Amino acid sequence: MGPIRGMKRRRKTEPKKLDQNVLAAAQLSPQPQPLDWWDEFRQQITGPLSESVSSDAMKFESVFKISRRTFNYICSLVKEHMGNRNFSTKNGKRLSLPDQVAVALRRLSSGESLTHVGDSFGMTQTTVAQVTWRFVEVMEERGLHHLCWPKEQGEMEEIKSKFERIRGLPNCCGAIDITHIMMTLPAADSSHIWLNDEKNCSMTLQAVVDPGMRFRNIVTGWPGSLSDDIVLRSSGFFKLCEEGICLNGQKMVLTEGTEVREYIVGDSGFPLLEWLMTPYQGIKLSDDKSEFNKRLCATQMVARRAFVRLKQMWKLIQGALWLPDKNKLPRIVLVCCILHNIVIDMEDQMQDEMPLSNHHDSNYNHQSCEFADKAGSLLRDKLSLYFSGQLP
């Protein structure tokens, strides 16, 4: 994963490793939550949240947008560092571990204000803020193993195979895209670097995504005024690829004497590099170049849809955040990405009920980067000829 600007250095600890089958993770919880926890907790819910659904029909999933099994697994991840925290409601009731996780998840998934969440659960906005931030701090440490570049060659081979099944791109290892996290800032802050081309204040999130819409590498914290090209070149992922540390796996033989290295795909806002394929630009393209563009764009679409799902699921980063702490926001975005991956890893059926679109930044024009290195151009032409059947 790329660097998160604003993250403090931490003492390195070895994350808990899951069994080979991550779907069994929920059963690995040190201690299952009491069966009556939700029945007791929902009786405390007040205001519009309780009025929107009758108490008899109110289900856990309708409030938190994840299954109870996924919730239990998240509790197991943070239990060691959150279970002994002394938070309480306005009535003095001490918050249990699942109470704290529930408050934090509601804040992240609903995007509601601290006051609104606090009123719904009988807590002060200060308590909601403290619980949510503590959850973020713990999750970025205990859940980070859910967001990582594939370490085993077998895992990467499976990713490449799935990408090839989308539209035939051989040896493709990922799809990259950038989205904006909108912010409402004071006039003094909004007049310079945070103001993007659409005259909105924003922070960027760059991600490399696998075919299952998992985030495999993210970079966040850079101001929205920076172009996609600059954000990429400022990332640790760019350095790893340029130095041959990443995307350095086995080449694929297309025809006798014709090999293709590992690469990722991006849109026209990114530079064309030896390890990053982007579309041909221009109006009148040859048939083989048009065919290549169709295949690449269909493959890169998985990254756009991942951002759509991320913002639909964790609505705190969907709208314009009011006066956010720009040092804390990158860490909140990171944890939302981790939670996004956990939902996928747990095969949570709640994600299937959400509609998908191809647009994560409404009213934003596509950027165009003219840079193309020679090796990247040669590889793109090679793939174009391969799809048209013109390779020798």
Pairing of strands 172-184, 201-209: antiparallel
Phi, psi of 183 (to 5 degrees): -140, 145
Is there a contact between 277 and 266 (Cβ–Cβ < 8 Å)?
Answer: yes
Tokens at residue 217, please?
């590498």
Q: Cα separations (Å) of 136 from 31, 133, 244, 326?
A: 22, 5, 33, 15
**Single pTM value for the model:** 0.89
Interior angle at CA 329, CA 327 and CA 332, nearest 5: 125
Is there a contact between 344 and 214 (Cβ–Cβ < 8 Å)?
Answer: yes
DSSP assignment string, 300-355: HHHHHHHHHHHHHH-GGGTS-EES--TTTHHHHHHHHHHHHHHHHHTT-GGGGGS-
Tallying the residues shown for the chain, one arrives at: 392
Q: DSSP alpha helices (H): ranges in 202-286? A: 228-233, 236-242
DSSP secondary structure code for residue 273 in this structure? B
pLDDT given at position 13 = 44
What is residue 87's three-state secondary structure? coil
Output the CA torsion 138→142→146→151 (10° steps).
140
Distance CA 211, CA 64 (A): 26
Of the candidates 121, 128, 126, 88, the residue with the CA atom closest to the CA atom of residue 107: 128
Of the candidates 221, 198, 219, 194, the residue with the CA atom closest to the CA atom of residue 208: 219
Q: How many CA atoms lie within 13 A of 273 on its CB side?
A: 22
Distance CA 180, CA 143 (A): 23
Distance CA 374, CA 165 (A): 28
Q: Which single residue is written with the structure tokens 């009758």?
A: 54
Of the candidates 300, 299, 278, the residue with the CA atom closest to the CA atom of residue 289: 278
What is residue 235's three-state secondary structure? coil
Helix H or strand E segment including 207: strand 201-209
Cα 119 to chain center, whole Å?
Answer: 29
Q: Kindly give the confidence (pLDDT) of every residue in the chain, 392 residues in length, as a single tens digit, with 9 standing for 90 and above.
A: 555 654 444 444 444 445 454 555 555 454 555 457 888 888 888 888 876 545 444 578 888 989 999 999 999 999 999 977 789 999 999 999 999 999 999 999 999 999 999 999 999 999 999 999 999 999 999 999 999 999 888 999 999 999 999 999 999 999 999 999 999 988 766 568 899 888 889 999 999 999 999 999 999 999 999 999 999 999 999 999 999 999 999 999 998 888 999 999 999 999 999 999 999 999 899 999 999 999 999 999 999 999 999 999 999 999 889 889 999 999 999 999 999 999 999 999 887 666 666 666 666 777 899 999 999 999 999 999 999 988 87
pLDDT given at position 359 = 66
